[in-house]
Amino acid sequence: MRRTLISAACAVVTATTVLAVPASALPNQTSGQASEYVVLYKDGVSLAKARAAVKAAGGTIVHENTDVGVATVRSTSTGFAVQARQQGALDGAAANRVIGRAPKTAKVTKQFAVEKEGRGQTTGTTTARTSKKAEEPLADLQWDMKQIHATAKGSYKVEPGDKRVLVGVIDTGIDGSHPDIKPNFNRALSRNFTTDIPADANGGEIDGPCADEPDKSCNDPADVDENEHGTHVASTIGSPRNRLGMAGVAPNVSLVNLRAGQDSGYFFLQPSVDALTYAGKRGIDVVNMSYYIDPWLFNCTNNPADSAADQAEQQTIIKATNRALDFAHRHGVTLVGAAGNEAIDYTKTNIDETSPDFASEPGEKPYSRTIPTSCLSLPGEGKHVIPVSSTGISKRKSYYSSYGKGYIAVAAPGGDKYDTADQKLNDKAGIWAAYPESIARERGELNADGTPNTPRVVRSCKAGVCAYYQSIQGTSMASPHAAGVAALIVSRYGKRDRANGGLTLAPAAVRSILAGTATATPCPPTGSYTYTRYVKQADGSFQKVVTTHACEGSKSYNGFYGKGIVDAFNAVRR
């Protein structure tokens, strides 16, 4: 799903209000170090009472989303969260992040190893053949589009999408200047809801010193991607057919950057809530969410392994996220999310050893927890979300993709670089999509003449303009394929949106068509897939890795594929 990098610039929108409610004498000891919290207002309570309650608990409101009653609060009080939970007008408080701390020691943030598989590999080459005249130049690399029939002879011929359909990418940003994104990028509606931070509570670098960035700032514009994740996702959804590079699932729709993820890949609660409510108020038709909200991979309300404070924090995350998802859904937004790269069955009891993955308090570290099915990974398991599992080039469920009957709605191509004849990594079996040139250069992946020097990056040029594309894999890559098909459905069957302009179609109708036109795919004949992978080691040798995942259900509905693999052509040809 995520662990990516990028930039941000919070914009004040009509749905939100920035306040400065000065805190009076604090009821708790002060640490001298300001921390941020996300506070949930109780349903039905007036804003005046909620704001007074925040002040009484020792907090200062710095950002407020009145649509769903969620505020970002700063406090130097060591007991703010406890005090907030005792206020009758408030429904919870969750630690957000520590602010104003200078970096002390280097910290390697967790990258999504699945997505980055093969980075740094120098052996082998990827040669991109020029495709037929009717196709984009790099279409031969796009096995994923062929799998779901998003091709010149398939869905493009019937319904390539409509510019009036708006697809929001809640991610780490979009490179709006990328030549194969720019024609469909809606700069006017794009927003950045987050601000990068240099360090966590333990003093470790998160995004790195902002002074080292090209713009010397932790606040970035809404058309920037200082990593690859959001740009890749946006390209898969809606890169245009322009005789350059490759096309997305819905090559004529409009792409809107709703940035909620930081350069480090951390996605905090308030930016996610703000992005969702903004989408609802501005007539966004579909949003893609290829991430989970930090710091908990799974949020539990009463896990005995968690402290009372951590339980309360997770309760707040669940309530606030579901409020925002409800709001977006009520306002016509179809919500699509990645199923996760943990390679686990979400409908069974699991072990989480990665949470909390961000130190909001000094000394906080991940610990092992038993996770019952009542716990939620958000937003993927939130209200109204369509969770998407990943398939490889052979259509088997990808080795990393999480799954579960009753969890997965549909499947889509996300890549599986080991879904190959020799079961060794091959970038051709990943998902190819747009890649910011600035990042390719920063990572040393381009030669002096601009040609790529790694098999996971390719280039396409037209009339002196060159664009770059990379191969990665993950359920983060599967979800935008489904979001793209959802956008085609709105394009094909949507009606005039009288409130916002453009087109609209009820999310329930979009979901029904998406699932109803998917290609039903049964569990494997043995009931499970055994994945044998030969993973390259540092010394050049290969280690054999074997895992087995069991599939439950029938051909029409099962834990690997849900209702089936999405099909762009089937979805629009009725």
Give the β-pairing of 465-472 and 431-435: antiparallel
Decide yes or no: CATH 3.40.50.200 for domain 139-522+556-572: yes
**CA dist., res. 381 & res. 370, Å (int):** 18
Query: Identity (one letter) of the amino acid at 82?
Result: V
Q: Does the CA dihedral 300-304-306-308 come out positive or negative? A: positive
Whole-structure pTM value: 0.91
**CA dist., res. 14 & res. 142, Å (int):** 40
Model pLDDT, residue 50:
98
Helices (H), 163-283: 229-238, 269-281
Which CATH code of 2.40.30, 3.30.70, 3.30.2010, 1.10.150 fits the domain covering 16-98?
Answer: 3.30.70
Q: Give, for 76, the enclosing helix (H) or strand (E).
A: strand 70-77
Q: Do the beta carbons of residue 74 and residue 59 sit within 8 Å?
A: yes
> pLDDT tens string for the chain (574 positions)?
433 332 233 333 334 443 433 333 334 455 557 888 999 999 999 999 999 999 999 999 999 999 999 999 999 998 999 999 999 999 999 987 654 433 332 223 344 689 878 776 654 555 566 666 678 999 999 999 999 999 999 999 999 999 999 999 999 999 999 999 999 999 999 999 988 776 665 566 666 666 566 666 777 889 998 878 999 999 999 999 999 999 999 999 999 999 999 877 889 999 999 999 999 999 999 999 999 999 999 999 999 999 999 999 999 999 999 999 999 999 999 999 999 999 999 999 999 999 999 877 777 899 999 999 999 999 999 999 999 999 999 999 999 999 999 999 999 999 999 999 999 999 999 999 999 999 999 999 999 999 999 999 999 999 999 999 999 999 999 999 999 999 999 999 999 999 999 999 999 999 999 999 999 999 999 999 999 999 999 899 999 999 999 999 999 999 999 999 999 999 999 7
* Angle separating helix axes 269-281 and 308-330, nearest 10 degrees: 10
Instruction: For residue 439, give both structure tokens.
Output: 């990042």
Q: Do the beta carbons of residue 278 and residue 68 sit within 8 Å?
A: no
List the end-to-end C-alpha distance of the chain, in Å, as a whole number.
32
Nearest to 265 by CA among 326, 324, 351, 341: 341
Q: Give, for 485, the enclosing helix (H) or strand (E).
A: helix 475-493
Model pLDDT, residue 105:
29
**CA dist., res. 522 & res. 222, Å (int):** 42
Q: Do the beta carbons of residue 355 and residue 296 sit within 8 Å?
A: yes
Give the β-pairing of 60-65 and 16-17: antiparallel
Model pLDDT, residue 284:
98
Residue with tokens 């002879």, as numbered in its chain: 153
- Distance from CA of residue 549 to its chain's centroid? 24
Q: Do the beta carbons of residue 347 and residue 407 sit within 8 Å?
A: yes
How many residues would you count in the chain?
Answer: 574
**CA dist., res. 319 & res. 310, Å (int):** 14
Domain boundaries, the chain: 16-98, 139-522+556-572
Query: Identity (one letter) of the amino acid at 358?
Result: F
Model pLDDT, residue 424:
96
